[in-house]
Amino acid sequence: MISETQDAPMSTTAERRVVVSQTGAAPSKDWVIVTRGIQRSYDMGGEVVRALRGVDVAIRRNEYVAIMGPSGSGKSTLMNVIGCLDTPNAGEYWLNGQLVSTMKDDELARVRNKEIGFVFQTFNLLPRASALHNVELPLIYAGVSSDERRRRATEALERVQLGDRVHHKPNELSGGQRQRVAIARALVNRPSILLADEPTGNLDSATSAEIMKVFEALAAEGQTVIMVTHEPDIAQHARRVIVLRDGLIANDGPPDTIVPAYVQGH
């Protein structure tokens, strides 16, 4: 894992403005995510819904970012675009130096496999498969040999303190354990970004705290973490908070200023 800077750095507003303005140019290696004016609209039965209306986001490697916003703000759409599950109608999206906004289905699948580790609200583990097999999945699609796969999956499970639960099925695990299996799965292929969508949405507060500790430790180790949440308490853990409203970025900055303002806005 890349870890020259231990103290979870944060890019400055000025730096971001510069990298976002250079339309068409590949950003430097420091910038793991750069979106320039991305738009995404859906045709909902004749009515066009503009979920994203020109979003510029620049995220540097090793940043720990929370994306907030009320429902309908476009945060899920932004997450889908950042996670390469969806492509924007307009604008560019550079992920780890690759222009992904124009990629085709299978190329996106490869990018998801190599660059992104997903953590979902509902865990999304395969119910019939063991924890180990669930963690092995991204490696299967990466074409890793079975011995290597087993070794790396076991290692990843040990990292989230589940070394003794490798052969358990998801229904034999607690909610927190399931989410930790999901985190192990997200990290096993050493992705550029860990993308978590309401990772604590289905967990009680004690377990939530446990999971947030895992994220914090990962961020401290140098893992880029992006987390979508609507809970201010959770967003508070991040080093930087981006607030979306009506498909546009409404606020972007450190949590101690942004989060109280967001809470007041509601």
Partner 1 sequence: MPFHEAVRLALATIRTQKLKSFFTVLGVMIGVMFLVAVISVVEGMGRYMEEDFAGKLLGVNTFTVRRSPDINVGNVTEETWREYQRRPRIMPSDVAALRAALPPGTRTAISSETFAYAVTPWARTKQVQAVATDGDYFQIKKYDLQSGRVFSPQEAVLGTPVVVIGTDVAEHFFPNLNPLGREIRIAGIPYTVVGLLEKQGNVFGFSLDRLAIAPYQSPLNRVTNPRGNVDGLIVQGVTEPAMQEALESSREVMRSLRRLGPADPDNFALETSDSALAFFAGLKSKLTIFGAALPAIGLVVGALVIMNIMLVAVAERTREIGVRKSLGARRRDIMLQFLVEAATLSLFGAGLGIVLGLLIAWVTKTVSPLPASVAPWSIGFALVVGAGVGVTAGLYPASRAARLDPIAALRQE
Q: Interface residues with partner 1 (CB under 8 A)?
A: 80, 83, 85-86, 105-106, 109-110, 112-114, 118, 120, 124-126, 128, 137-138, 140-143, 185, 189
Cα(57)–Cα(95) distance, rounded to whole angstroms? 11
Query: Tokens for 28?
Result: 């430097």
CB of 219 to partner 1, least distance (A): 22
For residues 63 and 115, which CB has a smaller minimum distance to partner 1 in the complex?
115
CB of 142 to partner 1, least distance (A): 7
**What is each CA distance from 201 to 9, 119, 154, 207, in whole angstroms?**
27, 11, 26, 11
For residues 108 and 250, which CB has a smaller minimum distance to partner 1 in the complex?
108
CB of 143 to partner 1, least distance (A): 7
Query: Tokens for 158?
Result: 């040990």
CB of 70 to partner 1, least distance (A): 19
User: Could you tell me which residues come within 8 angstroms of residue 119 by beta carbon, excluding any fewer than 6 positions away?
Assistant: 179, 182, 183, 186, 194, 195, 196, 197, 199
68, containing H or E segment = strand 64-68
Cα(219)–Cα(239) distance, rounded to whole angstroms? 9
CB of 122 to partner 1, least distance (A): 9
For residues 142 and 261, which CB has a smaller minimum distance to partner 1 in the complex?
142
For residues 137 and 243, which CB has a smaller minimum distance to partner 1 in the complex?
137
Alpha carbon 64 to chain centroid, angstroms: 10
For residues 19 and 79, which CB has a smaller minimum distance to partner 1 in the complex?
79
CB of 129 to partner 1, least distance (A): 8
Query: Tokens for 237?
Result: 């853990």
221, containing H or E segment = helix 205-221
Q: Quick check: helix, strand or coil at residue 185?
A: helix
For residues 35 and 62, which CB has a smaller minimum distance to partner 1 in the complex?
35
